[in-house]
Amino acid sequence: MLENANALKAQFEEALSKVTTTAEIDALRIEYAGKKGLVSSLMNDLKNVPNDQKKEAGMVINQVKQFVEEQIKLKTEELIKLEEQRKIDEAESYDESLPTDLGLGSYHPITLIQREVEDIFSSMGFIVEDYSEIVDDYHCFEALNIPKHHPARDMQDTYYLDNGQLLKTHTSAAQNYIMRKYGAPVRAIFPGRCFRNESTDACHENTFFQLEGIMIDEDISISNLIYFMKTMLSEVFKQDITVRLRPGFFPFVEPGFELDIQCTICHGKGCPSCKNSGWLELCPCGMIHPNVLTYGGIDTEKYTGFAFGLGLTRLAMMKYGIKDIRMLNSGSLKALSQFTDK
């Protein structure tokens, strides 16, 4: 029995020296210290030991058992530390001062409103497309019936880059690309970030988000545009929204309109967010100019279409009662952390 106990101890030490992971040490624990392990089998063999030797044999077996359990514990602690250090060494960056209990994150209100509007238009058969933030002059202006030296360019306050390209001033810059990609008929929306060199105030920012939409088919009229916009707004606000349509000039639509919604913050009484007018400009829109359709390769004898540029930033302000547009780009976690996914 003593020889068996010493042999088992030596066998365990050799096996322990080869263990390199916590999974392996756990398997070794089961093999030697488990209920049906090798140490337990020694205890079962005590019945075959003469009575005058059982006390000494039991003490030896207990010593082996304690040795095995202690060595497994020490090796497990060692391996856990090594694995933690290995994870730290393999990580791209590590800061031990960072808090570990950060709780749930939150979504930016524009992200939430964009997802919601995309879902609404998708349910009405619109494709959701993406487009670059850096574009060329042709797509941002010329393909939209805004030739060089056109006075409408002065209204855009454009950021030009040294290579001749520019930061897109409106999501309309994707119209030509979408028409060329899908042809007609087509229903598509394309959200994106836009840039204009404007002075900031409670309702203006130099970086903002829009969502452009076009629908091109046979016999499309402005009534189709009004229907889709009112349907979208009623879904977003979960109630009927008061809107008004005013004449507006945009080179890429004819006729052109400004679709305004009654301010949901002051309910039409007037506040800084709506410049005390009670109304908020939300959506320049109109029937796509025949020249723009032609640039996009669309047969103007057969097809007509409407286009709109929905202000996602202003829509988010109305949806969530945000009084100052500058808060959206502030990076203030205190202000933005209140917004969570639906």
Mean pLDDT score of the chain: 84
pLDDT reported for residue 330: 79
The larger pLDDT score, comparing residue 24 to residue 282, is at 24
pLDDT surpassing 70 at residue 79: yes
Q: Give 31's pLDDT tier (boundaries 50, 70, 90).
A: confident
pLDDT surpassing 90 at residue 186: yes
The larger pLDDT score, comparing residue 184 to residue 61, is at 184
The larger pLDDT score, comparing residue 179 to residue 79, is at 179
pLDDT surpassing 70 at residue 340: no
Q: Give 211's pLDDT tier (boundaries 50, 70, 90).
A: very high
Residues 225-251, mean pLDDT to the nearest whole number: 84
Percent with pLDDT over 70 in the chain:
92
Pairing of strands 253-262, 279-288: antiparallel
* Length of the chain counted residue by residue: 342
For residue 324, the tally of other CB atoms under 10 A from its CB is 16
The larger pLDDT score, comparing residue 62 to residue 136, is at 136
pLDDT reported for residue 315: 84
Nearest-angstrom CA–CA distance, 204 and 198: 7
pLDDT surpassing 80 at residue 68: yes
pLDDT reported for residue 248: 86
Q: How far is CA 176 from CA 137, 188, 197, 262, in A?
A: 12, 12, 24, 32
